[in-house]
Amino acid sequence: MDKVVYLAGQAAKSLMARQDNVSNNLANVSTPGFRAQMMALRSAPIQGPGTNVREFAAETVTGFNASGGSINTTGRDLDIAIEGAGWFAVQGGDGREAYSRSGSLQVNADGILTTAEGRPLRSDAGAPLEVPAAHRVQIEGDGSVTALPLDPKNKAVQALGRIKLVNPETRDLTRGDDGLFRLRNGQDAPRIETVRVSSGALETSNVNAAETMVQMISAARQYEANLKVISTSEQNAQAARSLFTLN
């Protein structure tokens, strides 16, 4: 009985991890540029004497779905979308370079061009892009950023630099708890000239809402089935003890 309860308990624990992952994906179905996190079963050896040949299956994060979302035109100057493969560089909370595809940009109170989450974009030079007051931003396909004066009498256009655009191998990227991606080796990816952006557009999340809902329902039912196994095992154990106590 103990083995049945242990196996069912381990399965339920793995299903809870799967449910957390699926719920996170579903919660980000409307997040621009979001990449769905994937999980899979892996073998988990049991530690201890006499258990060298025994293994269980455990749910583990295997990476993320690198396929692109659809690109929707917004007409907003501060919206950008990566065309095909690639990422733009931002500054993470730890000060390190990180990568994102969430292209809903804004200019913060200090005049710095940031993501919607407040992460400063990085230029080719590694510095943030600072927008002067009373100017609007124009972003070209190669990531070049210029500031256009709001005053029609002022014709002085200012070049602010270029957004750093990169395209590292998917297998070399890992997602952090902040939702940003970084190179596994901790280094900064080089700029890739072939990466292009579309201005006035946003990339949608690549999460399939209908498929994710099916995954959530499936995980919930499997979790309930394992709890039923535990409950039935307990009932069987009680019945067995009753038989042994009969005179």
What averages of pLDDT result for each successive group of 10 residues across the chain (247 residues)?
Answer: 73 84 92 89 66 62 87 95 96 94 95 95 93 94 95 88 96 92 95 96 95 92 87 78 68
pLDDT score for 30 = 92
CA distance linking residue 149 with residue 152, whole number of Å: 7
Collect all residues with Cβ–Cβ distance below 8 Å to 73 and sequence separation of at least 6.
200, 201
pLDDT score for 41 = 66
pLDDT score for 247 = 54
CA distance linking residue 123 with residue 165, whole number of Å: 9
Which has the closest alpha carbon to 77: 126, 28, 150?
150
pLDDT score for 9 = 78
Whole-prediction pTM: 0.81
Does the CA dihedral 116-117-118-119 come out positive or negative? negative
Collect all residues with Cβ–Cβ distance below 8 Å to 180 and sequence separation of at least 6.
90, 92, 98, 99, 100, 119
CA distance linking residue 184 with residue 190, whole number of Å: 14
Q: How big is the CA angle at 191 (ends 188 and 193), to the nearest 5 degrees?
A: 165
CA distance linking residue 90 with residue 100, whole number of Å: 7
Helix 209-244 vs helix 2-27: crossing angle, to nearest 10: 160
pLDDT score for 227 = 85
pLDDT score for 59 = 67
SS3 238: helix
